[in-house]
């Protein structure tokens, strides 16, 4: 059942858990038959446990995302309402809509994309959330106030989810009146904040946490100066942070090589990994720190790559 980015990620995590459990069982059976030694088995199971801990951390982050903008406990739901619900017997959430209110504290949920599973499942009301699709950037208005949640911080600012299709950046200089020395002294991940839209472009959203920082400009930002990136040689690494993931690639924010304002570039899905990438959502996630390389900065768009410099 692959229903959008969070659903695809949940599917792969669930499948990874099953694969790990089967692998551990196979190793233990091999030990009993004397095919492998205890030292190897112990090392293998230890690595599997570490992966399990990492999985639980990712799930916790996913749950934190569900507590924000697009998902609501809006009281009784009716047939036809768009929802996200927990698939029975799993910890994974998928998109669908209410087929019927059973009147006994459960809903029949029809899944958006069953992908070989049941088309309709009976779900308890406390794991069925009203779903509000993310706002398109074209819907946002400069100067408008939104409630948001901080999803990641960096030296130059904080990334905030206001329920739009991409996360917005609040630059360190726009967090409050006066000088800000350390972003982490002002905000933390998961914190709810008020944000005003400062500017919007085709794939970027700039926010401020103080209305006076709007500066009275209602226009979107013009083309960025990418000359500092154009001077970089292929293979010179840059530290970046993923701010948005799409089917075709991910947006990564990097600092200008000479310092100052940050810039967001696109890593196309074909450059996310050295090998073939079928599902980008199983490779990167919003807030992840990555190393990127500049592919092209000759125009007004920054093209980046996460492939190793010597990859063919």
Question: What is the tens place of the pLDDT at every residue in 158-195?
Answer: 999 998 888 899 999 999 888 888 899 999 998 999 99
116-120 mean pLDDT: 87
Domain coordinates of the chain in residue numbers? 4-66, 71-131, 137-214, 227-305
Domain 71-131 has CATH 2.30.30.140: yes
**DSSP-assigned letters across all residues of 281-301:** GGT--TT-EEEEEEEE-SSSS
Exposure string over 142-176, b if 16+ CB within 10 A, otherwise e: eeeebebbbbbbbebbbbbbbbbbbbbbbbbebbe
pLDDT of res. 134: 81
Contacts of residue 230, defined as CB under 8 A and 6 or more positions apart, other chains included, come to 294, 297, 298
Residue 243 tokens read as 């701010």
CA distance 23 to 15: 12
10, 92 contact by CB (below 8 A): yes
CATH, domain range 227-305? 2.40.50.140
Distances (CA, A) of 232 to 229, 242, 258, 295, 304: 5, 21, 11, 10, 12
Which one has a higher pLDDT value, 29 or 268? Answer: 268
Which one has a higher pLDDT value, 276 or 218? Answer: 276
pLDDT of res. 30: 61
Question: What is the tens place of the pLDDT at every residue in 44-96?
Answer: 556 555 544 444 444 444 434 443 444 455 568 888 888 888 999 888 888 88
3-state class of 47 per DSSP?
helix
Going by C-alpha positions, the residue among 283, 172, 304 that lies closest to residue 238 is 304
Check pLDDT > 90 for residue 140.
no
Task: Report the C-alpha dihedral over residues 283, 289, 293, 299, rounded to 10 degrees.
Answer: 100
The pLDDT confidence band at residue 236, using thresholds 50, 70 and 90, is: confident
pLDDT of res. 31: 59
110-119, 136-145, 155-164, 222-231: which is most confident: 155-164
3.30.1300.10, 1.10.443.10, 2.40.50.140, 3.40.50.850: CATH of 137-214 = 2.40.50.140
Half-sphere exposure for 159 (CA within 13 Å, toward CB): 23
The pLDDT confidence band at residue 122, using thresholds 50, 70 and 90, is: very high
Check pLDDT > 60 for residue 247.
yes
Give the strand pairing for 303-305 and 262-268: parallel
CA distance 287 to 199: 21
Identical fold, 71-131 and 137-214: no
pLDDT of res. 98: 93
Q: What is the mean pLDDT of the chain?
A: 76
Question: What is the tens place of the pLDDT at every residue in 42-56?
Answer: 655 565 555 444 444
pLDDT of res. 4: 39
Of the listed ranges 133-142, 151-160, 236-245, the one predicted with least confidence: 133-142
Half-sphere exposure for 274 (CA within 13 Å, toward CB): 5
Q: At what angle do helices 38-66 and 4-32 cross, to 10 degrees?
A: 160
282, 291 contact by CB (below 8 A): no
């Amino acid at each position: 059942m692959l229903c959008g980015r969070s659903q695809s990620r949940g599917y792969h995590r669930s499948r990874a858990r099953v694969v790990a459990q089967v692998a551990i069982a196979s190793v233990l059976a091999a030990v009993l038959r004397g095919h492998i030694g205890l030292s190897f088995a112990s090392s293998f199971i230890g690595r599997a446990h570490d992966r399990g801990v990492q999985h639980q951390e990712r799930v916790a982050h996913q749950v934190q995302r569900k507590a924000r903008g697009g998902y609501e406990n809006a009281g009784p739901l009716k047939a036809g309402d768009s929802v996200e619900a927990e698939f029975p017997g799993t910890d994974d959430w998928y998109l669908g809509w209410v087929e019927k209110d059973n009147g006994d504290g459960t809903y029949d949920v029809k899944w958006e994309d069953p992908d070989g599973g049941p088309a309709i499942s009976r779900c308890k009301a406390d794991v069925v959330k009203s779903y509000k699709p993310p706002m398109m950037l074209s819907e946002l208005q400069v100067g408008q106030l939104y409630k948001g949640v901080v999803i990641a911080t960096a030296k130059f600012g904080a990334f905030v989810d206001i329920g739009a299709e991409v996360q917005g950046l609040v630059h360190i200089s726009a967090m409050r009146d006066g000088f800000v020395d350390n972003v982490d002294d002002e905000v933390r991940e998961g914190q709810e904040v008020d944000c005003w839209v400062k500017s919007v472009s085709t794939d970027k959203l700039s926010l401020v946490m103080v209305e006076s920082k709007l500066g009275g400009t209602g226009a979107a930002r013009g083309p960025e100066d990418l000359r500092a990136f154009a001077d970089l040689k292929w293979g010179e690494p840059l530290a970046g942070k993923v701010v948005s993931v799409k089917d075709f690639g991910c947006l990564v924010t990097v600092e200008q090589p000479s310092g100052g304002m940050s810039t967001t570039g696109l890593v196309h899905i074909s450059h996310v990994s050295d090998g073939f990438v079928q599902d980008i959502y199983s490779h990167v996630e919003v807030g992840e720190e990555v190393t990127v390389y500049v592919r092209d900065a000759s125009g007004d768009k920054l093209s980046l790559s996460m492939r190793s410099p010597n990859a063919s």
